[in-house]
Amino acid sequence: MITVNEARIKIEQHTLPLSPVLVPIIDSLGAVLARDMEAPIDSPPFDQSAMDGYAFRWSDLQADSYLILQGVVAAGDTSATTLLPHHCLRIFTGAAIPEGVDTVIMQENCRNENGRIYMDLSSTIQGANIRPAASQCKQGTLIPLQGSILQAGGIGYLAGLGIAELSILPKPKVGIIVTGKELVTPGTALQYGQIYESNAWMLMAALREGGIHVGHHTRVGDDLKETIEAIREELMRCDVILLSGGISVGDYDLVREALFSCGVEEIFYKVKQKPGKPFFFGKKSGTLIFALPGNPASVLTCFYQYVVPAIRKMQGLSFDPPRVQRLLLHDYFKKGSLTHFLKAKVDDHSVTILDGQESYKLNAFIEANALVMLEPDQQQFQKGDSLEVLPLNTIWSSSNTESLKSASS
């Protein structure tokens, strides 16, 4: 067996980011961007009215009590207009500022008397309500996209620059294989000796939390040939394969043998941890294979501790999810010399280790919002001790990248 830290190091060493792909901008939501870009245009591309109102030359109104209405400029007008002396133009938000205009006044501060426009300048200054060209960004400005996670505001910003496609690091294709002849699909009647299959549904839900959708999953009995066929099929189409069950040392634990038959290279087998000691990690070509235990709590714990970091790195994120230190609210005794991962409830300051830590029990996950790691060389933990905590609600978030910000910020 290897230690938890050794397992993490080996997984990180054998995990590479996926190759970038070019996608329509709408399909890049939530993705990690693969490269920086230069702004293709000025934004805004012209001086632009920020208000519905009247556009005029400030010096004209200092000499006159009113200005003559010359015409109307609407957003989207493509013909240029030049302002005549002692005139003004009705203008609308987003419209291009005509030549000669240096100020826009809100329509609420004006009155129109037969084409003569009287303006109250008490709340207006010269240059007001004009968005200068390139005030958001200049053409050729470097937009620092690489490593950023694109959100809705970023899509709007880039689309406003005329960018239609983006290079992203894609989400991996994940396949799930569940083993065990005792398993029955939820919703069907149980016979004696059968249990409902929950691991595939749990893993699919956990992957969806990270924006990864599994189109289907495979369930096989305790049959070597059937298991080999299922693994070969997933190897042809997946970047990551998750297997559940059949990885221990019983007579019907056939997964490891099946993996070897498919040419999978074993990186490690068994980790000094509880739960999830019988845990296999291997690879074939570019596909990563995680053979998880069969007990549901062990499956989900190993998924959070090892699979999520690998998927994060494949998408261009930091390998480790964000972890925090919290103060234990009670005494706790840990048996044995293994690293323990425990279901826990955490707040901004403290952590409580929950009851129901057995590997077959999932009920504590209803309440749990974190996993606590207890080091192997310590058995007694006192109230007030600082513990390493993995919050589950931020497990897919980035610890070293930020959502896309405006290039002008």
* Model pLDDT for residues 82-92, shown as the tens digit of each residue: 999 999 999 99
Inform me whether the pLDDT recorded for 140 exceeds 90. Answer: yes
Strand 265-269, strand 280-284: pairing: antiparallel
267 and 180 share one domain: yes
- Quote the pLDDT of residue 329: 97
User: What pairs with residue 71 in β-bridges?
Assistant: 89
Return the CATH number at 386: 2.40.340.10
91 and 184 share one domain: no
Question: Has residue 405 been placed in a domain?
Answer: no
The radius of gyration of the chain's CA atoms, rounded to the nearest angstrom, is: 31
Q: Select from 280, 295, 314 the last residue of a domain.
A: 314
Strand 142-143, strand 37-38: pairing: antiparallel
Find the Cα–Cα–Cα–Cα dihedral 351, 356, 357, 362, rounded to 10°: -100
The alpha carbon dihedral of 327, 332, 338, 344 has a sign of negative
Does the reported pTM lie above 0.85? no
Q: Select from 68, 102, 131 the last residue of a domain.
A: 131
Question: Has residue 276 been placed in a domain?
Answer: yes
Share of residues in the chain with pLDDT > 70 (%): 97
Pairwise CA distance, residues 30 & 11, whole Å: 24
307 and 334 share one domain: no
146 and 183 share one domain: no
Residue 150, domain extent: 22-43+138-169
φ/ψ of residue 268, rounded to 5: -160, 160
Return the CATH number at 37: 3.90.105.10
386 and 285 share one domain: no
279 and 309 share one domain: yes
Residues 105/119, Cβ–Cβ less than 8 Å: yes
Question: Has residue 257 been placed in a domain?
Answer: yes
Q: How far is CA 20 from the centre of its chain?
A: 16
Question: Has residue 310 been placed in a domain?
Answer: yes
pLDDT tens-digit series, residues 40-78:
999 999 999 999 999 999 999 988 899 999 999 999 999
338 and 216 share one domain: no
Residues 142/89, Cβ–Cβ less than 8 Å: no
- Quote the pLDDT of residue 405: 35
Question: Has residue 305 been placed in a domain?
Answer: yes
Residues 355/325, Cβ–Cβ less than 8 Å: no
Report residue 401's pLDDT band, with 50, 70 and 90 as the boundaries.
very low
Question: Has residue 402 been placed in a domain?
Answer: no
Tell me which residue has tokens 């000025």: 42
Pairwise CA distance, residues 72 & 89, whole Å: 6
Residues 148-155, mean pLDDT to the nearest whole number: 91
289 and 272 share one domain: yes
307 and 348 share one domain: no
Question: Has residue 403 been placed in a domain?
Answer: no
Nearest to 279 by CA among 265, 293, 266: 293
Residues 298-306, mean pLDDT to the nearest whole number: 97
184 and 255 share one domain: yes
234 and 208 share one domain: yes
Q: How far is CA 293 from the centre of its chain?
A: 27
More confidently predicted of 250 and 406: 250
Question: Has residue 194 been placed in a domain?
Answer: yes
302 and 373 share one domain: no
Inform me whether the pLDDT recorded for 385 exceeds 60. Answer: yes
Q: How many domains does the chain have?
A: 4
